[in-house]
Structure 1
Amino acid sequence: MSASHSSTPRFKDYLELHFIILLWGFTAILGKLISIPAVELVLYRTILAAIALAVVIRFKGGSFKIGRQNIVKIVGVGFMIAAHWILFFASARVSSVSICLAGMSTASLWTSLLEPMFTKKKIKPHEVGLAILIIIGLYIIFRFEFDHVVGISMALGSAFLAACFTIINSNLTKTHAPATITCFEMAGAFLATALFLPFYRTWMTETGTLQLAVNLWDVLWIGILALVCTVYAYTGAVRLMQKFSAYTMNLTVNMEPVYGIILAWFIFKEGEQMSAGFYYGASIILFSVFLHPILEGIRNRRIRRLQDSLPN
């Protein structure tokens, strides 16, 4: 464990970390439980999360002053997040939670392939190999679950966007407080969704009207989604990053699709049953995702040993 962490993680820290990952895996299920469409859902989620984060920042004595240019940039990232969430929830709605999470599990490797384009880092051979393995897994799923092509395509698009804004955020957090960044991003995501509504209402709804009316169950699920799965889970993860190594965090986050698929099966049962081909393909993808941080750890240890062996 790196000495830079504030303290050694305790058992309850491990429990909280897995609980947060469980919540992230639960978001696709909430998207299917909530009766309103994906666009209206993202509208409510983003405004509630933005307000709640603003209250948290103000309560903790944080600052919103980061400069007009930075605000414009961060709000722009929020536009990307809005598209990511709309595709994510729409994927779960038109196909299944399992299909959605199988596609979303490619986000970490999309990140590893895209990062060299944004930074000066070199492409790593093992990451190319894992990407090929993921393509094989996706091919198997497409072959056996052809009826869900639209759903998994949406999930892949959502994962691609997640990789893009994760790379951008990794640079933003070097100079600004993560909670402040997220607050402006949620505001940007709300703005993007609101601006999208006229086009969406005219061209993408059957009745030409928005479904903004919610029932009592929707109020509960949207509240959990915005406040528990977004605000609490995010701030909790940032706090735990001070105790866990990046390797441990990345390895644990890979459990998100596993938890989500298991929860979906228990909640929706027959509605989440897939062909054997789906589970073969999903297993290959998840194996690749789990293997990535392990290979990365081996590579980093080799580099450190090589550096230690060089004369000073």
Structure 2
Amino acid sequence: MTHGHPSFRKGLLLSNLSVLLAGPTGLFGKTLAHLPIGVVVLARSAIAALSLFVLLRALNRTPARSKPLSGYYRGALLTGSLLAFHWFTFFWSIQRANVAVGILAFSTFPLFATFFEPLVFKQRLRAIDLLWATLAIGAMALIVPSGSLSDHVTQGALLGIVSGALYAAYSVANKALLQQGQQDVMTLTMTQNTVSAVWCLPALWPLWQLGYQPTLADFGQLLLLGTLLTAGLQVLFIASLHHIPARLVGMITCLEPLYGILLAYFILGEIPQPHTLIGGACLIATVLASILTSRPDTLGRPA
């Protein structure tokens, strides 16, 4: 399949739309910082799962049943767990550092996908893929000003890298599920969000003990986060994996910092340091180069 194939172009479109929706999510790590991270992830997951359930009913579709059913639930349990811990470390990263560092650190995701996908699908690593991954790491070195673990920016960057690794595992596992016949995107995403919400239920206990009452603004932000910026984003993301490799999706995801940093500047007044902008520019350049050199024989399959 070549870059001009309709399926490839469709995959690029779906992936880029998901990144546009992902851009604002980092801001909630700051605007909802007064809430425990587990509560934010719980609300995000539960609202997303409910939104997808309502959408399935509105479309007169019942959640698809997979054969074998046990394999589907094992896959959903794994991917839902990865999703929960990815979100937790992502928001924690932003709270420890800032939106720019957190999102850029998460964007090391392609490095991990470069290693995970060939391992799962029994493909050979290409030298060019390792080169782009190495350049992504080099860009991260420009972003982190200190190597000291006591520095809150370094801590945030490390958490963001962990979040990226979890997200890479999530994306590759999703692609494996799709290739095994788990092709109902909304059903799979709904189940994953339900698993993620269950993981975060213990976070309600300290909130209840403190007697905190969420405000109307909190509910509004969580509703936006759980519907359009989670349910909508995930459906587009998983659907894109039908058409292009997870590592290419990951490279496109590196464009997320561009949108996130701009929104953080205009909404939160966060101004990134020059070295952060230079590192971010290097990541975006790596994204474009990876698309131009992606391997035609692994660009996915037609819908």
**Amino acid aligned to 2:54:** V
- CA deviations over 1:214-273 (Å, ceiling 9, x no partner): 11111111000001111233345667889xx6499777544222111111111122xx22
- CA deviations over 1:65-111 (Å, ceiling 9, x no partner): 22134213312321111000011111112211101111111112321
Name the TM-score, length of structure 2 as normaliser: 0.81
Structure 1 equivalent of residue 110 of structure 2: 108
| Alpha-carbon distance in 2 for matches of 1:237, 1:82 | 16
Structure 2 equivalent of residue 284 of structure 1: 282
Q: Structure 1: any 5+ residue segments left out of the alignment? A: 202-206, 304-312
Query: Residues 151 and 170 from structure 1, CA distance in 2 versus in 1: closer, same or farther, beyond 3 angstroms?
Result: same
Query: Residues 171 and 143 from structure 1, CA distance in 2 versus in 1: closer, same or farther, beyond 3 angstroms?
Result: same
**Amino acid aligned to 1:231:** A
Structure 2 equivalent of residue 191 of structure 1: 198
1:268-283 correspondence to structure 2 within 5 Å: 268-269=268-269, 272-283=270-281
Q: Structure 2: any 5+ residue segments left out of the alignment? A: 299-303
Query: Residues 210 and 95 from structure 1, CA distance in 2 versus in 1: closer, same or farther, beyond 3 angstroms?
Result: farther
| Alpha-carbon distance in 2 for matches of 1:227, 1:162 | 19
Structure 2 equivalent of residue 213 of structure 1: 213
Conserved? CA contact 2:20–2:259, under 8 Å: yes
Structure 2 equivalent of residue 230 of structure 1: 230
Conserved? CA contact 1:141–1:278, under 8 Å: yes
Asked if 1:156 is matched to 2:152, the reply is: no
Conserved? CA contact 1:88–1:155, under 8 Å: yes
Conserved? CA contact 1:250–1:293, under 8 Å: no
Conserved? CA contact 1:144–1:278, under 8 Å: no
| Alpha-carbon distance in 2 for matches of 1:268, 1:72 | 40
Conserved? CA contact 2:168–2:250, under 8 Å: no
Conserved? CA contact 1:45–1:225, under 8 Å: yes
| Alpha-carbon distance in 2 for matches of 1:262, 1:278 | 13
Moved more, 184-193 or 248-257: 248-257
Corresponding pairs, count: 284
| Alpha-carbon distance in 2 for matches of 1:160, 1:223 | 27
**Amino acid aligned to 1:192:** W
CA-based RMSD: 3.2
1:230-309 correspondence to structure 2 within 5 Å: 230-236=230-236, 246=244, 253-269=253-269, 272-296=270-294, 299-300=295-296
Query: Residues 84 and 250 from structure 1, CA distance in 2 versus in 1: closer, same or farther, beyond 3 angstroms?
Result: closer
| Alpha-carbon distance in 1 for matches of 2:203, 2:193 | 15
Query: Residues 80 and 196 from structure 1, CA distance in 2 versus in 1: closer, same or farther, beyond 3 angstroms?
Result: farther
Name the TM-score, length of structure 1 as normaliser: 0.79
Report SS of the residue matched to 2:138.
Answer: helix
Structure 2 equivalent of residue 62 of structure 1: 62
Pick aligned residue for 1:178 from 162, 185, 191: 185
| Alpha-carbon distance in 2 for matches of 1:65, 1:17 | 26
Query: Residues 17 and 277 from structure 1, CA distance in 2 versus in 1: closer, same or farther, beyond 3 angstroms?
Result: closer
| Alpha-carbon distance in 1 for matches of 2:241, 2:125 | 26
Pick aligned residue for 1:132 from 131, 134, 149: 134
**Amino acid aligned to 1:75:** L
Moved more, 207-216 or 158-167: 207-216
Report SS of the residue matched to 1:121.
Answer: coil
**Amino acid aligned to 1:285:** L
| Alpha-carbon distance in 2 for matches of 1:94, 1:279 | 19
- CA-CA distance at 1:21 after TM superposition: 2.7
Query: Residues 168 and 134 from structure 1, CA distance in 2 versus in 1: closer, same or farther, beyond 3 angstroms?
Result: same
| Alpha-carbon distance in 2 for matches of 1:170, 1:187 | 19
Conserved? CA contact 2:254–2:283, under 8 Å: no
Percent identity of equivalent pairs? 22
Query: Residues 58 and 252 from structure 1, CA distance in 2 versus in 1: closer, same or farther, beyond 3 angstroms?
Result: same
| Alpha-carbon distance in 2 for matches of 1:151, 1:124 | 31
Structure 2 equivalent of residue 308 of structure 1: none
Structure 2 equivalent of residue 21 of structure 1: 19
Conserved? CA contact 2:114–2:133, under 8 Å: no
